[in-house]
Amino acid sequence: MRLRDIPITAWIGIFGIALALFCALFAPFIAPYGETEVVGAVWQEADAQFFFGLDNLGRDILSRLIYGTRTTLTVALCATVISFSLGIILSFIAAVSGGLIDAIFSRFNDLMMSIPTLIFALVVLAVLPQHLIVLILVMAILDSTRVYRLGRAVALDVAVMEFVEAAKLRGEGTAWIIFREILPNTLSPLLAEFGLRFAFAILFLSTLSFLGLGIQPPAADWGGMVKDNKDGIIFGVAAALVPGSAIAALAICVNLVVDWLLKRTSSLKGGRGDA
Amino acid sequence: MSNTSEAGRQPGLRFRERFPLLSLITERLVLSVILLFAVSVLIFGGVEALPGDFATTYLGQSATPQAVANIRAELGLDKPVVTRYFEWLGGALQGDFGKSWASRNSVSEQVGKRLGNSLFLAGFAAIIAVPLAICLGMLSVHFRNRMPDKIINVVSLAAISLPEFFIGYLLILYFAVNFGIATFPATVYEDMGFLERIQTIALPTATLVLVVLAHMMRMTRAAILSVMSSAYMETAELKGLSAGRAIIKHAAPNALAPIINVVALNLAYLVVGVVVVEVVFVYPGMGQYMVDAVTVRDMPVVQACGLIFAAVYILLNMVADILAIVANPRLRHPR
């Protein structure tokens, strides 16, 4: 594969993700003001000094946006990585073992998936203490059900191949079969799924924060910033839309990259060329 | 599914052979009831098993043990878990969800008022979104890989990346604040006229339609495309059938089941999307009720709302499965 073959839409996506990563890594150096620093009047209009204006407490929106990248990206990434590891390992164990283990895991997964994710999260978060680790774990466990479903379907296809059977006859253990035989052969669809889950995690975290159940103030976080500034909308203050567009832009960028990855995988498989 | 045709189950086999459709639908109904029961255990049991005690949260850390014991007895928390579960489930089946801890009002009364509002909003959005999505999906397949398809693809990709609340506030800012042609907040009353009510919920409906439209359209497109790229469509094309005839006689019957699935899946999605949209537009529905209850940890309300949302979701998925079985004869004879 050459760099030239990457379509322009994927480049836009990669650029957007890189920009967000840069903001997250170097937030204290590029943000003009502090995360919780009050620098002026409430909902002050945007000007040369304050690029996006000030928020409901007079904090600089641009600075909070940059700091918010940090929180949003970290939490979303942690949740996705945990949900992915959990989903993949459980689904591969189910696919390799088959029988009772597969049946128990899959039925329990069906049960978890029969409750809408947001509703499930609301019920669980109503009871659990408000803590960052709790939030990440809840997001990860709820999302791992989706990963499990895909992982099991993909792994079942590979698990019946000759080379897996050869490995079994050779006397390799379950761990070897999962990590050395099945995982390398399922990497491509799983990578695309990882991107999709990450985009979903960003949106889900923002939704929870917007509902006041995600990241707690005064830490800056995109969904929470929308919640803080939503009352301004009635007076025509667009402060809430800035973090909203940041969420949208990042999710679009991730989706653009995923779209390209998916197209690449499907063109490898052949077929009539569309879909 | 795999071991249903074994010998030794003669009466069942005979019923299955005589009424394959009826027995499959019965099977699906029973499965849904079991699932719903399991979900109720999960919602109730999960809440019980998790740490955190309402009585101590309610009274604060400095509460005397006597006060804690009193409030536990008042809320019925001193009874064993299993007893309370069956009391709760029995009440829920009769439409009684107990009393709210925060306001001491009957939960069922509130739910009764709000469930109708939520379903009205979601239903109205569905009436607009479903036909629109299917038409756009077909359009996109018709112009596949040409300009209209590419535009629809990029726009819908952008639309599924937008959070619901962002679309909502964008619409409020433009249509309610800047142009003043729509109302915000979308508060509805019981004795509101039908037309007035529709006018009030125009913006939340538009938000929901936009949220669900892109998803539904992309899935419709994928479903139709997978049918169009199958071998029998190629045969139809090669034997010289006109495009319209091939689509009506060969593609449409096969695409029906996946499209029904897509619609049901998105209706289920709509039910959840209602939660955020209701909070944005201050619409008195189930979603707002639940979110408010979660913030103050009002467990009877959270459990009731959770169970109802899950029930609607399971019901929609069940209807989708049954319609798919009816629409596709091949599903009636599982191998």
Q: What is the DSSP string of B167-225?
A: HHHHHIIIIIIIS--S-SS----TT--HHHHHHHTHHHHHHHHHHHHHHHHHHHHHHHH
Query: Is A27 a member of any domain?
Result: yes
Q: Residue A265 has what pLDDT?
A: 66
Which range (A11-20, A229-238, B71-80) has the least confidence?
A: B71-80
Residues B313 and B268 sit within 8 Å (Cβ to Cβ): yes
Q: What does the pLDDT average to over B168-191?
A: 77
Is A80's pLDDT higher than 90? yes
Shortest distance between the Cα of A156 and any Cα of chain B, in A, equals 17
In a domain, A275, yes or no: no
What's the domain count of chain A?
1
pLDDT at position B4: 45
Gyration radius of chain A's alpha carbons: 22
- Residues in A touching B172 (Cβ below 8 Å): 233-234
Q: What domain range is A35 assigned to?
A: 7-267
A211 within some domain: yes
Chain A residues close to B43, C-beta within 8 Å: 115, 123
**Helices within B229-298 (DSSP H only):** 231-238, 243-246, 252-281, 286-295
| Per-residue model confidence (pLDDT) at position A59 | 79
Residue B334 has what pLDDT? Answer: 57
* pLDDT for the residue B88: 78
CATH of domain B107-332: 1.10.3720.10
> pLDDT band at B13, cuts 50/70/90?
low
Residue A32, min C-alpha distance to chain B (Å)? 26
Mean pLDDT of A119-138: 85
Contacts of A226 in chain B (CB under 8 A): 165-166, 169
CB contact under 8 A, B169 and A251: no
Residue of B nearest to A204 (CA): B163
End-to-end distance of chain B based on CA atoms, in angstroms?
Answer: 8
- Please give the pLDDT value at position A168: 85
Q: Calculate mean pLDDT across residues B129-145.
A: 84
What average pLDDT does the structure give for chain A?
A: 82
Instruction: Please give the residue that has the higher pLDDT: either B57 or B28.
Output: B28
pLDDT tens-place string over residues A172-227: 888 888 888 888 888 777 888 888 889 889 989 998 988 888 887 777 788 888 88
**Quick check: is A272 in a domain?**
no
For residue A28, is it within any domain? yes
Q: What's the pLDDT at B16?
A: 67
Q: Given this model, what pLDDT does residue A83 score? A: 93
Burial of B85 by CB count in 10 Å (0-12 exposed, 13-18 middle, 19+ buried)?
A: middle
Looking up residue A234, the CATH number of its domain turns out to be 1.10.3720.10
Residue B333 has pLDDT above 50, yes or no: yes
Domain ranges of chain B: 107-332
Tokens found for residue B330 = 């091949």
pLDDT given for residue B56 in this prediction:
63
Q: Is the pTM of this model over 0.90?
A: no
A252 close contact with B: CB closer than 8 A: yes
Measure the CA–CA gap between B53 and A44, rounded to whole angstroms: 43
Instruction: Please indicate whether, in this complex, the C-beta atoms of B163 and A119 are within 8 angstroms of each other.
Output: no
pLDDT tens figures, B255-307: 887 888 888 888 878 887 888 888 888 888 888 888 888 888 778 888 888 88
- Phi, psi values for residue A54, rounded to 5°: -115, 160
Question: Strand, helix or coil at A223?
Answer: helix
Contact of A120 with chain B, judged by CB distance below 8 Å, is answered with yes
